[in-house]
Amino acid sequence: MTEQKTAFAIGAHPDDIEFLMAGTLMLLNEAGYAIHYMNVSSGNLGSTVMDGPATAATRGAEARAAAASIGAVFHAGFADDLDIFYDRPTLAKVASVMRQIKPHIVLTHSPVDYMEDHMNVCRLAVTAAFARGMPNFSVDPPTAPATNPVTVYHAQPYSNRDPLRQVVVPDFYVDITDHEEAKVAMLANHKSQKQWLDESQGLDSYLQTLRDLDAQVGQMSGRYKYAEGWRRHLHLGFCGEQDDPLGDALKSRVVEAAS
């Protein structure tokens, strides 16, 4: 019996996966992949009307509902907002989850993004995938090493720009036009975020902002109405040089960026 392939989306905060990765994740599920969903942080700082523990509990419930809505296996985070650091204890926890899942595809943040939590989760995800098969690297909780090849893909930074305002161009684009409203519905589970994002970032509507960002990427593709953009991580230590399981699975929906 052939083992089912798995895809692991790992973001910093509840709603990051929805904004940046959810369309591709849904398509991978439809292509036969088991899908997994994890936010490293509780989202405890994402409110001006609830205290930290209440915010974390609310956002955790919203994230579980969002993952369930697309059939993703939910993995609870273990850090708080602005407390995601690239350190040994945090890496040991992320690496343990990585070994449990044994993903063939990892979807995570851009190496350069508008905030440190995103960039630190990117570093943690990459190193956790790299260390998946190292028996002398202790993880928390202890989990047997995994030996399967894994290909890491980086989503667009939020706003499609780096911290110095420069536009980030993906390697390739995934057409999510017919899944855009499913992605919006998934994000709508995060009801607590409308007021927070309106107040903290001046967003008129977080659901419309999602559409606007995906439309920007679609316009960048020159082909699709709505798209998600991806860059493939260097293969060394992860997989074969030509391995591109995401592209293989979604090839009818993928177009490479113009060189």
Residue 149 lies in a domain: yes
* Res 47: pLDDT: 86
Per-residue pLDDT of the chain (259 residues; tens, 9 = 90+): 567 999 999 999 999 999 999 999 999 999 999 999 999 999 999 888 899 999 999 999 999 999 999 999 999 999 999 999 999 999 999 999 999 999 999 999 999 999 999 999 999 999 999 999 999 999 999 999 999 999 999 999 999 999 999 999 999 999 999 999 999 999 999 988 777 677 776 665 788 899 999 999 999 999 999 999 999 999 999 999 999 999 999 999 999 997 6
Whether residue 172 is contained in a domain is answered as yes
DSSP secondary structure, 30-74, as one string: HTT-EEEEEESB--TT--SSS-HHHHHHHHHHHHHHHHHHTTPEE
Do the domain assignments include residue 152?
yes
The pLDDT score that the predictor gives to residue 204 is 54
pLDDT attached to residue 1: 55
Q: What is the pLDDT of residue 6?
A: 98
Q: Which of 39, 245, 238 is nearest to 131 (CA)?
A: 238
**Residue 49's pLDDT is what?**
87
**143: which 2 tokens?**
């989990």
pLDDT at residue 26 in the model:
98
Q: What is the dihedral of CA 143, 136, 120, 230, to 10 degrees?
A: -80
Please tell me the predicted confidence (pLDDT) of residue 191: 87
CATH code assigned at 78:
3.40.50.10320
Distances (CA, A) of 60 to 43, 55, 153, 166: 8, 8, 25, 33
Q: What are the beta bridge partners of residue 36?
A: 8, 73
Question: Quick one: the chain helix, strand, coil %, rounded to 5?
Answer: 40, 15, 40
CA atoms within 13 A on the CB side of 144: 4
Residue 187 included in any domain: yes
As a dihedral over the C-alpha atoms of residue 107, residue 113, residue 116, residue 120, rounded to 10 degrees, the angle is 30
Domain extent, residue 132, equals 6-256
Which pair of structure tokens corresponds to residue 11?
């973001």
Residue 1 lies in a domain: no
**Residue pointed to by tokens 């992320």:** 94
Question: How many domains are contained in the chain?
Answer: 1
Query: What is the reported pTM?
Result: 0.95
